[in-house]
Amino acid sequence: MTTPSSRDLEILSAYLDGQLSQSNRTRLETRIHADPALATALEELRQTRALLRRTPHRRAPRNFTLTPGMAGIRPPVPRLVPVLSWASAVAMLFFLFTLGVSLVGQLSFGSAAPMRAAAPKASSEGPLVAATMAPLGAAPATAAPATMPPVVAAPAPLAAEATAAPATMAPLAAAAPATMIPATAALGAGSSNPPPADQTVLPTATPEISIMSVPQAAPPGIARVLPAPPVPKAQHRQVNLWLFIWPGLAVILGALAVLAWGLNRRSFQRKNPRGRPPPI
């Protein structure tokens, strides 16, 4: 009596399931009758199979029916969603445009801002006497407040310094080069307080660019009459209005883009509640 080989066990297993051809079946039955080990192995395999078949069947603990969400059946999406999905790109364009407009506006109007602050009052009074002439000495300083007291804008800090300056400094200020004049004019835009007549504003060396260019050869202390810059009020209002409208549009479009993203995400979650199913 020998132990059946793995090949014999495979044949016995197939025989048990009726998977052998007629000739192989007859040959195996002859061997089984002759070899008790094969008969024993066949009996044990049969018992094993019987045990497995008697294993109790368990009912499913719940129903595994699919909901539309689990099956990935998408609910109808609002018609605006595909349109809104482009809103982010449009919002970005608006944003860039707004940024560009504001930068260009700053570059072109930024240095003229002092003049724009002065323009509304000065334009109604005709030619503008240069405000920079005020601090340039005693004689022009006395004349300047007379012609345009509200226009001349002396910088508050500088004015404060000027009040502390001794009177002997006045000639020095009068001798200051003309190239420094626009700097004081530009700095003076922030304040509308006219300087006192007896104040002498010391020109500083602040290298600020100004569209009001005073020729180098111009003698100090001579008042120059400049034409008022052509900045109509309506245009200012229009530019300011658009500077508010463009960012507003960008914000609205951005909000719509976020809304579209939220709607798309929600519909995706309904479609795939547990992520992507494994492939079969």
**Site residues (vs another protein, CB under 8 A):** 6, 9-10, 12-14, 16-17, 19, 43-66, 68, 70-73, 274, 277-280
Least Cβ distance, residue 21 to another protein (angstroms)? 13
User: Which residue is it, tokens 């260019």?
Assistant: 213
CB nearer to another protein: give 18 or 227: 18
DSSP notation for 197-226: TT--PPPP------S-PPPTTSPTT---EE
CB of 276 to another protein, least distance (A): 9
Helix (H, G, I), strand (E, B) or coil at 254: helix
Cβ neighbours of residue 211 under 8 Å, at least 6 residues apart? 111, 112, 115
Which of residues 16 and 81 has its CB atom nearest to another protein in the complex?
16
By beta-carbon proximity to another protein, the closer residue of 71 and 160 is: 71
Q: Within 10 Å of residue 142's Cβ, how many Cβ atoms?
A: 12
Cβ proximity to another protein, 79 vs 276, nearer residue: 276
Residue 63 or 168 having the CB closest to another protein: 63
Q: What is residue 226's three-state secondary structure? A: strand
Rounded distance between C-alpha atoms, residue 162 and residue 145, angstroms = 16
Alpha carbons within 13 A on the beta-carbon side of 254? 10
Q: How far is the CB of 53 from another protein (least distance, A)?
A: 6
Strand-pair partners of 226: 128
CB of 34 to another protein, least distance (A): 18
**Residue 39 C-beta: closest distance to another protein, Å:** 12
CB of residue 249 to another protein, shortest distance in Å: 42
Burial class (CB in 10 A: 0-12, 13-18, 19+), 261: middle
